[in-house]
Each structure stands twice: as structure tokens, then as C-alpha cells.
Structure 1
Amino acid sequence: MSLPVRTFSMCSWSRLLLLGLLLILGIPVAHATHIVGGEMELQYRRGNTYTLTLNLYFDAINGNPGALDQQMTASIFDKANNRRMQNVVLPLTSNTFVQYTNPACTTSSLSTRKLVYTRDITLEENIYISTAGYYTAVERCCRNNGIKNIINPQNAAQTFYLEFPAVVRNGQRFIDSTPRIFPPLGDYACRGEMFYYDFSGQDADGDSLVYDMVTPLNGYSNPVSPSPTQAQAAPYPGITWAADRSTLNQIPGTPTLGIDSRTGRLTVRPSQVGLFVFGVRCTEYRRKVKIGETRRDFQLYVLDCPRNTAPSVQVYNGTGKRPAYVPGRDTLHLVPGGNRCLSIRFTDPDPSSRLTLTTRPVNFSGLAPSFTTVSTGMVRAAGVPDTLTATLCFPECQDTKGQVYLLDVIVADNGCSLPKLDTVRVAFTAIPPANTPPVLTTSFPAEAAGTSPVIVRIPVGGVYTATLTGTDADRDPLVLSAVGQGFDLAAAGMQFTAQNGTGRADATFSWQSSCEAASVQENLIVRFQLQETTKCTPVPLVRLVQFVVLPPVDTVSFLPPNIITPNGDGKNDAFELPTLPPDYCDGRFGGIKIYSRWGNEVFHSPERSFKWNGAGSTGMYYYLITFTNGRRYKGWLQVLP
């Protein structure tokens, strides 16, 4: 396999010679060591406008303040041929500190700033059309001195790298926002303890994201030229791993650092203290086709921490006097009138541990149990117990619909660097109190199939009324309501009056059809709803009705006469149209024109009450009648002696 050949400009050779000369003479080189890591993102805004952002994480403890750049330059290239498309100067727009997961775990040896560089750019649809896609890069030196898993960290640089697709594909506009990778890593890890962190991203387009470990990119910046005016084209060399380190073994540990390909969750149990750099790639797929990738480099600081023992939690059914709930064996069956509460006991062998209970639904959403007593507290301190107790109760209206729901009950301590956890997974079924559904009857037309609304058509000026009645065999309170979908009922000439009550609700609806109603909204759809207001509020009964304003008469039957005899006998002496379709809202009479057989206009009038006597010439004529809404009527007319 042939390797890519990198060509150097005279400027590049000069920088290397200068660096070599300084080293030979023993003159120290100013290393701008400060880079913790970072990533880039490209977010769609509107039209051809996108926002390009670089997130750079800066070592606030050991970083050289002179390396805090006020702007950075990103270069965009065509992946097919490495052609430079444009350079973008990104100004510094934000400078904030990264927070610890647990602020109480703050250490003076670790503090990180998040520097955000961003600018709106234009990606023209007639330019960014390469089927191979594009990449953008920012080069900056140098990484922190003291990194243990790479060679010569004080001279190692970082290339921030992002791939994105063409803005036009197969002749069609292709809109994509790249993944946003967060949160940043503000915590340290403890030697010999499992470390976990959510390193996942979010995608505004709902594309699939896949994560894997990669070697961080070094690029071509160096201590002599730490912040070049533009990035060079790919390929970018990676950092040089120290002995026994590699892409799949970046941080020593059991297990070594890894990332869940689906969730983006980092895990490692480090076996050595020190500062370690690592790289993660997030690949973006749409319909199983790769459309881009985002690379993130970061550092993990591993310390010797005080020993922290994990807390423990036990779940008891009812008052807590019965045997503990056994996960995987027991299933709770919650029935009407029965006990719906669990007793939770949680403790920690470490002194002065603050514990917190939480719950997490595993395979369901919606209603969830809640703690009716305090779910946090301290154990094994002066004057406090060694075990805490909380009560967890399920809603009376919980309905698992015959399925087994799973709920995790989790206790976390306040240990450093991250809380240690213990989890009990509770399996349960639940049946809500019995309830007879209410019944809704109306005088509207028969309900359409599926969820389509029924249609009521009324001529302009007409009045329509309907009645609605809700009844409930359990005599539960009922409420009838009506809401226009996207419009106000009163503005469309609609009125709704309800008398709600126990076991029965009655309502009357009326509508005065008018041109004003037709102008409010094209589709006048009203949602009529009957709601049973019990403790376990069921799904409401809904009727959708669409109201349509019709012209006063059927205009299809309009048939003008086609023969006149202007001989003065009082019969068919003139061409006139007393049966013209009536003016209707925006459909008003616009005018008539009459033409000879040669296309010459012989008569016109804007009046509905026009009359034309043939102008004293027999023969064949043609007419055109127009209305203001675009409706047209054409025909012929013969004038006889």
C-alpha cells in the first residue's frame, strides 16, 4: 500500500530548521501548552446559512495565558480532491468554566475552560455539491505537558476535524446539522475505581450516531508555528502513542477506556495515575448511509482518591417487615384496593455519606411512582442513623395493560470523583380501578371511518345547530368542550354552550355560515370532546367536525341562452343573464365581453344587469364571463333576424 507523500513549502522547512537550531543551541522553545481537547460542529440555520463552531477546552491550571486565542481559522476542503473551498475566521464568543458532576469533588489540580469560537457561513447550493462531501479542520499546538500515554506531549498538536455532506444530493437540497457532542468532561477518575461518563451527542435531524475510539489527530502545527493562519489539507498524522498504548488501549486499566457504540457512554477502571489523552469519533448515518463524522479529543486525569465503598439499597413490599424484594424472582402485582407502596432501605458503610434515591423507568413512560417521604439524607455521622428509609408509592391509576413494567430504584452516594451506585430493578404489573367509559351522542352526521372528521356543508347565510349529550353509568363528573383547530370559534360565527354535571353533560352548538367564516381559515375543523373528570382521568371521547361554507345556489346548473332575435317582438330581443350565479364572498361578477367570429370585441360591461341587442348585425358571436375568484364561463351566441 502506497503512503501519502507530504510536500513542504519553503516556509515549512524554515520553521523546522529554526526549531532544530534552537534545540541545538540549547535555547528553550516557548511551548504554548494548554489544549485539553475539543470538537467542531456545523448547524443549519436557514437558506444557505450554517453556523460553524469550534469548542476548545483550555487547561485553566497549567495553560499558558498567552495561548488563549481571540480567534481561530477553520479551513474547508473537498474530500474528493482536498481542494481548499474557503477559510473561515472564527472569533472567540464565549469563555466559561466546565463544571464538575459533583462540585464537592473539586481539586486544585484540575480546572478546565470551554472556549467557543463561532461564525455564520454560507454554503452555496451551486458550489458545495461534491458527492464525496467535505471536511473542515483547525490546527493548533500544543497539548499539555505531562500527558503519559503519548510521546513528546509538549510538542504534540491537535487537529480539530469535522466531515459534512454536500448541500445538494441527486439534484435535491440536502439539509444536515452535524452532531453536537456534549457534555464536556470536567471530572477526574480514581485509580482502581470504575469511571463512567456520558460522552454522547445529539442530532437535530434525528440521524443515527455511532461511536468508536480513534487515535487523536496531531496535524502539522508545532511549537514554532502553534497557530497557523490556515489548516493544511488531509491526511493528518496522529499523535505518537507511548509504549503499550494504542487506539484500542488508550488508557491503562481493567477494562481499558472504551465507549458504547450506541449510547456514547465512556467506561474505564484506570490502573495508573496521571494525565491521559484520548480520541472519540461520532459517525453520522442517514438511512444507513454515512454522511459525516465528528472527532473529539479530550484528557482524563487519574488520581489516587480516598477509598469509597458503594452504597446499598433494599426494597421491601409494604411496610418493610416482609422479606426484601428479590430482583429477577419477584413481581409486584398492584390491584385496586391493595397496597401500592414499597419501603426502601438504603445505607453506606462509609462515614458521613450523603445518599440520594432516584427512580428510572426502564421499559415504560408516563405515570411513574413517587417518594412520599424524604429520599435523601446522611448516614453514619454524629447523631444520624446508619440506615435511611423512604416510601415509594405507585399511582392508583397506573395501568400496565397486562405487561410487566420494569423500574430501577437507584441509590447514589456523594463520593469522588463520581457517585457510586446500587440499583434494584423492580418488576410490576398494575390494574387501575374499574371504570365504565362514558357515552357521547350527537346530532352530527354519522362518524367517518378512521380519524377523519365528518363534514357539514351549509350555504352562506344558513344556520346550523347540533346537540351533544354525554352520559356515564358510574355517575362520574363529565365535561363537554369545543375548540377550533387553529381558529377562534366566535371569529367564525360559532357558538358552543355546555351544561356539565355528574353522570350527564349536555351542549348546544350553532353556526351562522358567512363569508367572514370562510375567510377565517380554509379548513374549519372543530374538536368536540367529552372528558370524564375522575381521579384516573381516561382518554377523552373526541368528535372532529369540519364545517364548509357553500355558495347560496348550485352554480353548475347555470346555462345561458345562445340565441336572440332582436326584431322588436318582445321575445328574446336582447342577450341578458338574470340567472347568473350570485355573488359569493370573493366570487363576484367581474364582467362580460362579446366577440365577433373574427375575435373583435363588440361589447363589454361590468354590470350584472347588462343587455346586448346584437348591435344590428346577425351572425355568430362568442362571449366570456369572468368572476373575481377566477371562475370563467365561455359560450357562443347566435343573432337571428
Structure 2
Amino acid sequence: MKRSLLLLTLCVVTFPVIASHIVGGEFEIRYISSNRYEVRLILYFDLQNGNPGAQDDFANARIFRKRDNRFMQDVFLPLDSISRVSYTQPECSNGEIQTNKLIYKTTVTFSDSQYGDAQGYYIVWERCCRNYNSKGLINIVSAEPPPGVIDYPTAAGQTFYLEFPPVVKDGKPFINSTPRLFPPLNDYACPNKFYYADFAGTDVDGDSLAYTLVTPLNTHTAEAIPSAGPASAPYPLVTWQSPFNLTNIVGGAPDLKVTSDGLLTVTPTLQGLFVFAVKCEEYRKGVKLGEVRRDFQMLVVDACPVADPPQILGKKLTDGSFTYDKTMNVTFSNTVSDANRCIEVQVSDPDALKSSDGFMENVTIKAIPLGFKKDVSGILPSITSVTLTSTNPTKTFQICFDECPYIEGPFTIGIVAFDDACSLPYFDTLKVLVNITPPVNHNPYYVTSNITSSITEGSALRKWLIKAVDEDFDVMTQVIVPGIGVDLASAGMSFKSLGQVGDTLFTEFTWDPRCDVYNFTSRTNFDIMLQVEDKDDCNFNHPDQMKINLNILLPGNSKPIIFSPELTNNSPLIDTVNLERKVNESLTFHVNGHDDDKDKIVLTGTGKDFSLATYSITFPGDADVENVSSLFTWNITCDNVNLDAKDEFTFHFIVSDNENKCRFHYSDTLVVNVTVTPPDNTAPELFISSVNPELLLSTDNHLAVTLGQQIDLSLNGFDYDTSPHADLLQLKLLSATGNVQPEGYTFADAEGLGNVQSPFTWKPECDIFTNGVYENDYVFTFLVSDNRCFNEKGDTIDVNIKIKDVDGSDTEFLPPNVITPNGDLKNDFFAMIKRDAVTGELKNILPLDNCTGHFEGIVIYNRWGREIFTSADREFKWYAPGEASGIYYYLIKYSNKEYKGVVSVSYWDDESQAQR
């Protein structure tokens, strides 16, 4: 037995342990019913290099939308089964490769609403790791990542990837199952020996499959399973080890290639473990539906014994020897008997003459179609395998063909002889071009001419007799070619087979053209194609067709008209009206409909993309014979519109005639576009006045205040709008600023319908002054605003207040210095008073108290320094009771200063002697 190349399918599956274990695999999606699909993940696991802990119990895949990589859903796939991958020839195995096939699967529902995007979707799963370079992998970079390291560029993970189409197209269900790839061959290859593998998959929908080699996909991170889950596209590619690349995958001569129909071939020159990937694309009617990727590992080891391929030669039955090598042509007329519609092939193998092979070799022949797809195994004899020996080194097989060719015209069949070389059989092929004339057959044909007719609605039942003939008296079948797009029965049409008599097939076609019985609303013209086919010996398709073109002439019907007395001046020619209304206004108009045929008509009104009830709009509509009318009413208020969200409203008023005899829907439409604008609004006014008569506001609202004076202001707002109701006014203090932030004032925001009032009070104290500055400027801004929706207005007033400290200057402070307490009631006491020269009133002359300092008291001393009088009263009076004439000293104390002086006490009678 010879040793040959071992091919392993490479699949991407996630496992929770980082290990070099993944050999290959792919996704599959199979249609079940309705919107239910079975999703499969197939993983090929390396038993020799893999960690058993990396064989997971489940996988979490993820689906994205192709158009924008939008996440759709996660797919949980539990482990369903585990099986061993077999060798092509188990006796060739010395344990170089041992592979398990793991299948994870679940059932998923893909809803029409969620999976209807025309560009389709993709499902992915990311997993680390491929086999490492230390395990013999030589054509890509694949190093073992250190524990816990996520960003490790030299690590090589695998992304399993499958694209699939939407489940609905053009509003109809779109059913599709993705390709199902054949299991990988668990075989090895040897240097300089030709290797092949049939990779072609199957598609249950009959879709076309095309294959190409691609660079394998890597993963986004070096995590065993990405903690964030599978990421969306794009996906990184693996890094090729120099000098390998996509055109030099294994260093073969020639290198690895795949045909468009899935045949892998290579003659390797290097030993080692190689990674490559194949992309299988799925097409239906020339349109790509999706794709699936499968990665592979190929092991090349120098373990194949020297062997020679078998040889197959051919000859016609009338030939004396086997002279055809590689190709031959044969032709059979339809008069040749079954026994003579044959060829003979002879197989031999040099290995049957070698002692190293025990002077024997097993050879098997197979038949394969070339250029077409059909089962051609029926041409082979019942026994197709033989053991060649040194005494019987050749074997002859007879290949016989049926009287009916597999396809019309010449076809080519390959007769292949395989030996039992390791690990893959060597083979030789004889290509036979076969030209078989099938039995004579006359094609069926219609003797009835094409039917073209226009029929007035309500006419009597029409019948046509249709005849088809087959001159061979073959059984004929007749069908309606799909594509008419209407149910014939709903249009009053029917076909009734009257059976076949001799060579003629009779069919009766009837049409009942009554529109009050049958529905012609979807179409009035019908193109029908009939097709007749016979059942000949070879089942070749040569049908004949006839056309039936029918047209129904419907009774006339006047379309209803729609108009508005107020909006269109009763003219039905105006179909669009543009209006503008303000909030707090009303919109009222009539909509009328008329039908000249006096059919029953229906009048309806709707809002475009909104409900009338949402905006408190009434339009009851109407239904009657010949004439209809309804009143549209809309009181536009702040309660039923929100101009910030919508200010343009389109109304469709439709009058319909759908109860005419033929049930056709006739209608006329009036479109009314209404733009709603904010309501009219007169701005409120704000007035301010000072309640304290000592403090008067200037015309520009300035107020000068001396500390100690109380500020009393009255704020009044008034609004002139009363329709549909008085506006709600809000009065508030917008801002209060100053060189020192004002504090201690009182003002409360207020509300009122039509008018509003609120007082402002403030009696500032010394604590308003800071940093030695005793004059502050303040600005208070008040606002009154209304609540008229979408057009709020207001009025503001700025009040400028200047507050100064009390003037406590002593520039004019001149205390008296003489008193005459002699009882004449003139100048009898010492006090800080002075008579005003103008009014004659007495007033205190002490400096005024302010924030800088205030009066604390007075103390009077005699000449010996004894305190004889004290008072804390600014209005003190000292009569010097019992004191002798003479000089006395006084001390006037303020919190921040003192005044010292003398006063003379004299008891003279002469007032002129008193000094002041």
C-alpha cells in the first residue's frame, strides 16, 4: 500500500481554553419551515495536538447585517454530536492524523421584519487557536500567546464566517439553505506526488456553487474566546510566513489550486503542515446569495511507498485490440441492439508484477460524467473491482450504454481506474465521447390556432375546444406555463381535460365574462400560455406551446367628483388647496361628492400620517347614492396642536365609487394643506412705582436711597389679550446684580390671569458695605411674561438703586461753650442743639450716626477732673446743678472718634456776656 497526502478540513469554533487544536470547519444554515432554520457549526478537532479541555460544550455565535454591520442577535449553539473522521483508505493510516468532527446546532427563527434587508446578513464565531509553528505549521505565522495576553499579533486564531440572504424579497418569502460541504479527507500527502480532493459541496435548492482559494481569516484578539463576543467585520487576515502567499500556499509544483467546481489539486515539494482556506459562493439565477468559508490543514510527510498508477485502455466491440489510450469516440445509431451498444476497457497496473506488493494490486473502475451532472454508474458491469496478479495482470470490463443518451447530442464520460495506493489511490482515465441516436420520436403539436378575443362584459359563456396531436400516439400532458400572475378561476376561466383519443388530446377552455360574478379588478387582459409534452422513450423535452390572449370590455362608468363650496368654489377641477391658520382660530368647510351614474359613493377624510382625533378634528364623512357631503371642523387651540413637533397638516378627502357592477374602485381626491402658525399676541406691560413717599423713582427708574430708608416698590403686570381667554401672567425677578451682591431684600414671584402684582421691599443695613466703600449701585431686572402658546411675549424693567451711607461729617460741628444757668430760662443748659436761622427750630448739631461710627455718650468733668455728668442720650441737657461758675471739660464719645472741649458756667445777669 502506498502513502499519500492527508487533507484536513479547517473550521472555526470557540473553545474556552487556548490550545492548538482547530483543524477546520464551517457554518451551515438549513431551512426547516416557515421562518425556522437550523444553524450548524461544524468543527474539526485535532486529537493529537489539541487540549481535551478546549473541546467546549457550546459555542456563542453572532449575526450582523451586511449593509452596516449592525448587530442582529446572538446564537447559542450547544454541542450535539462528536464523531471520528475516517481515512479514504484506513489501512494506509499509521496515526499521523486523528481528527474528531464536532457538530453544534440549534433552531433559530428569522422574522420577516428583522431579516428582510436586501444585502443580507452574516454569522461569525471567533476562536483561538490554530496549530502553532512549534507543532509543524510552516506557511503562516502562528505562535502560542503568553497566558493572559490579548494583543499578540503573532497568534493565529480563526474566524468562522458565513453570509446568507434575507428571508423575504419583494414582499414574498425567500427560502434558501446554505451549501453543505463534503467532509474533509483525513489523508496526508507526500513530496513530489500528485494529490487531489473533491471539495465540491451540495445545495438542496439547486443553486450554483463556485470555489476560490482565499487567505484564511484571523481573529481580532488572541483570547481563546473574545470576552466581548464575536466582533463585526472586517476581520484581519493571517500573516503568511515568507516565501508563502496566496499564490504559493504550500510551495508546490504546481501549487495548490481549486477549480470553480471544487476539485483541489497540488503536487507538494515540501514536508510540513500547511494552512489554506476555500471560499464557496452560492448563486441563484446569476445573483450571489452568500458565501461560506472553510479552512484546511494539509500534512505533507515523506511516507508514501514508490508506486505506479494503473492504466486503462479501450476498444470498440469490432476492434481486435485495445488501441484507445486517454480518449476514444464511439457512435451508435438507433438501430443498434442493446448487446452491441457497448465498448470494452482493459485495466492493468505495473505494481501487480512487483514482489514488494506481493505480486498483486487491487483495481476498481468508476464512471463519471464530464461536462454534465447525472448518475452514469448504470453503464458499468455488476463487478467493478478486481485483484490483478502476476499471472493475471490485466482485466477486461464491458461498458454498455442505454438506447437513450444522458443528454441530447454527444456527451463525454470518464472511465477511471483506481488502485489502492496510500494514502490516495493513483488513477488513470479514459475519456469516451459517446454519440447515441435516440429512438425516433415525433414531437407533439397543437392543431388549434392561437386564440385572440375581446369579449364584452356580461356576454354569454364562451367555450373553445383545444386539440393537440402526437403522431407516435404517445401519452401527452398539458400544463399552463407559470407567469400569468392571476388565478384563472377568479377571472371566470377554466380548463377541462376531455381526455386523449388516439393521437389527439382534447381540452375544453371556458370563460364566463360576468364582472358581477368574477373579479376583473386586478386585470382586464389575460395572456395565457399552454404547453403540451409527450412521454417519449427518452423523456426529452420538446414541448409545443399555444397562446390565448383574452380581453374583457367592461361597461363604462363615470368617476365620482369631489369639491368644496368654500375652498374650491364648487369646482371639481381643483384638487389641491393650501391654507394658513393661526392657533386660536377655527377652520370649517364642507366637502361634497357627486356621481353621475347615481352609484352609491362614500366620502372619507384622513390625515396624512396622523389621526384626526388626535387633533380634535371632526369629519364624520358620508355614504349615499349620487351625492354626499360632510362638514370639516377644527378649532385650533394650544391643547390640540404642538407647533414644535408639527405645523404642517395634509388632509386627504376621498370620494369613492366601489360598489358599481364590476367592483372597480373609482375615486377622486381633494388635498388640503394647512399650515398652522403661532397665535396673535399683544405683549404684556410691566409697571413699577415706589410706595414710600420719601423715595421717588425717576422717570428712568433710578432710585437714590440713604441708609436707613426702607425701599417699598410695587410691581404690576397687565395683559390686553382676552380671547379666547385672558393669558396667564408670570411676574418674576430675572436678575439682581451690583458691585456687591444684594442680599436681604424680599420679592416673591407671582402669577395671575390678565394682571399680576407683587411687592419688593428692602431696608438695607450697614452690612451691605464692604472694603471701606459706603456707596453701592444695584440693578434689579423684573420680567412679566404671558403664556400664549408658541408666541410668548414679555416686558422687562430695570430698576437702578444707589444706596449711600448717612453723612456723618463734622465740618459744621461747633458745640456751644457758655451756659448761664441763672433761672432766666435763657441759655440755662449745655446741649448739642442750635436754632435754625430760617425756621427758628432747634436741631441737634451732633454728627449723624452712620456705618463708620455712632454716638456713644458724653462725660463732663470739673476742673479737678471729677466726673460730674454723663449721658448716652444724643438729646442730653446739662443744667450744671449746684456747680460753681467756672470752666468745665467735656468728652463726646463716638464709636470711632472723640470730641473734647470746654464749657463755661456763668451766673451773670447780662445775657450779652454769654458767649457762644
Short-chain TM bin: 0.5 to 0.7
Aligned to 1:111: 98
Q: What is the aligned counterpart of 2:370 among 349, 362, 371?
A: 362
Aligned to 1:637: none
* 1:320–1:342 CA contact under 8 A, matched in 2: no
Alignment map for 1:481-630 (pairs within 5 Å): 481=476, 483=478, 485=480, 494-500=496-502, 505-506=503-504, 509=507, 529=532, 531=534, 542=544, 544=546, 556=555, 626=659, 630=663
* 1:327–1:427 CA contact under 8 A, matched in 2: no
Closer, same or farther: CA 138–89 of 1 in aligned 2, 3 Å: farther
Aligned to 1:67: 54
Closer, same or farther: CA 459–544 of 1 in aligned 2, 3 Å: farther
* 1:341–1:394 CA contact under 8 A, matched in 2: yes
**Residue 378 of structure 1, CA deviation:** 1.7
Alignment map for 1:167-246 (pairs within 5 Å): 180=179, 182-192=181-191, 193-200=193-200, 206=207, 209-215=210-216, 217=218, 219-222=220-223, 225=224, 228=227, 230-231=229-230, 245-246=244-245
Aligned to 1:316: 315
Closer, same or farther: CA 365–520 of 1 in aligned 2, 3 Å: farther
| 1:331-354 C-alpha deviation (Å, 9 max, x unpaired) | 434335465321111122334433
Alignment map for 1:110-189 (pairs within 5 Å): 110-119=97-106, 120=108, 136-141=124-129, 143=131, 146-149=135-138, 155=145, 156-162=155-161, 164=163, 180=179, 182-189=181-188
Aligned to 2:250: 251
Aligned to 1:334: 332
Closer, same or farther: CA 38–454 of 1 in aligned 2, 3 Å: farther
Distance across 1 between alignment mates of 2:658 and 2:114: 46
Aligned to 1:278: 276
Closer, same or farther: CA 633–127 of 1 in aligned 2, 3 Å: closer
Distance across 2 between alignment mates of 1:63 and 1:511: 71
Aligned to 2:415: 409
**Residue 314 of structure 1, CA deviation:** 0.1
| 1:446-491 C-alpha deviation (Å, 9 max, x unpaired) | 246xxxx9999996666665666654xxxxx5135454659999x9
**Residue 215 of structure 1, CA deviation:** 4.7
1:395 maps to 2:395: no
* 2:419–2:425 CA contact under 8 A, matched in 1: yes
Alignment map for 1:368-387 (pairs within 5 Å): 370-371=378-379, 373-374=381-382, 376-381=384-389, 385-387=392-394
Closer, same or farther: CA 520–114 of 1 in aligned 2, 3 Å: farther
Distance across 2 between alignment mates of 1:171 and 1:511: 33
Larger RCO, structures 1/2 (Cα 8 Å, 6+ apart)? 1
* 1:37–1:298 CA contact under 8 A, matched in 2: yes
Distance across 2 between alignment mates of 1:265 and 1:58: 24
* 1:73–1:89 CA contact under 8 A, matched in 2: yes
* 1:367–1:398 CA contact under 8 A, matched in 2: no
* 1:281–1:294 CA contact under 8 A, matched in 2: yes
* 1:60–1:111 CA contact under 8 A, matched in 2: yes
Closer, same or farther: CA 510–131 of 1 in aligned 2, 3 Å: closer
Closer, same or farther: CA 346–221 of 1 in aligned 2, 3 Å: same
Closer, same or farther: CA 172–157 of 1 in aligned 2, 3 Å: farther
Letter in 2 for 1:195: Y
Aligned to 1:35: 22
Distance across 2 between alignment mates of 1:510 and 1:336: 38
Closer, same or farther: CA 187–441 of 1 in aligned 2, 3 Å: closer
Distance across 2 between alignment mates of 1:437 and 1:628: 50
Aligned to 2:425: 419
| 1:278-302 C-alpha deviation (Å, 9 max, x unpaired) | 3344567899999976443222233
Identity %: 24
**Residue 117 of structure 1, CA deviation:** 3.2
Closer, same or farther: CA 209–369 of 1 in aligned 2, 3 Å: closer
Corresponding residue pairs, total: 525
Distance across 2 between alignment mates of 1:558 and 1:239: 72
Distance across 1 between alignment mates of 2:422 and 2:90: 10
Q: What is the aligned counterpart of 1:301 among 294, 299, 307?
A: 299
* 1:459–1:549 CA contact under 8 A, matched in 2: no
Distance across 2 between alignment mates of 1:177 and 1:103: 36
Closer, same or farther: CA 202–371 of 1 in aligned 2, 3 Å: closer
* 1:76–1:87 CA contact under 8 A, matched in 2: yes
* 1:72–1:90 CA contact under 8 A, matched in 2: yes
Distance across 2 between alignment mates of 1:288 and 1:420: 37
Aligned to 2:347: 346
* 1:483–1:526 CA contact under 8 A, matched in 2: no
Per mean C-alpha deviation after superposition, the further-off stretch among 409-418 and 123-132 is 123-132
* 1:319–1:342 CA contact under 8 A, matched in 2: no
Aligned to 1:479: 474
Distance across 1 between alignment mates of 2:494 and 2:284: 44
* 1:482–1:496 CA contact under 8 A, matched in 2: no
* 2:120–2:166 CA contact under 8 A, matched in 1: no
**Residue 188 of structure 1, CA deviation:** 1.4
| 1:502-529 C-alpha deviation (Å, 9 max, x unpaired) | xxx356555787799x989998979675
Aligned to 1:269: 267
**Residue 99 of structure 1, CA deviation:** 3.9
TM-align CA RMSD: 5.8
Distance across 2 between alignment mates of 1:459 and 1:633: 23
Distance across 2 between alignment mates of 1:132 and 1:268: 35
* 1:215–1:246 CA contact under 8 A, matched in 2: no
Distance across 1 between alignment mates of 2:177 and 2:477: 43
Aligned to 1:57: 44
**Residue 392 of structure 1, CA deviation:** 1.8
Distance across 2 between alignment mates of 1:174 and 1:593: 40
Distance across 2 between alignment mates of 1:133 and 1:493: 44
Distance across 2 between alignment mates of 1:393 and 1:421: 22
Distance across 1 between alignment mates of 2:175 and 2:539: 41
Aligned to 1:639: none
SS in 2 for 1:424: strand
Letter in 2 for 1:138: E
* 2:23–2:130 CA contact under 8 A, matched in 1: no
Distance across 1 between alignment mates of 2:78 and 2:438: 58
**Residue 37 of structure 1, CA deviation:** 2.0
Closer, same or farther: CA 104–478 of 1 in aligned 2, 3 Å: farther
Letter in 2 for 1:418: L
| 1:75-131 C-alpha deviation (Å, 9 max, x unpaired) | 456889988665543333443333444455455443322223345375897899799
Closer, same or farther: CA 629–91 of 1 in aligned 2, 3 Å: farther
* Structure 1 segments unaligned to the other structure (5+ residues): 1-29, 472-476, 560-590, 605-623, 635-641
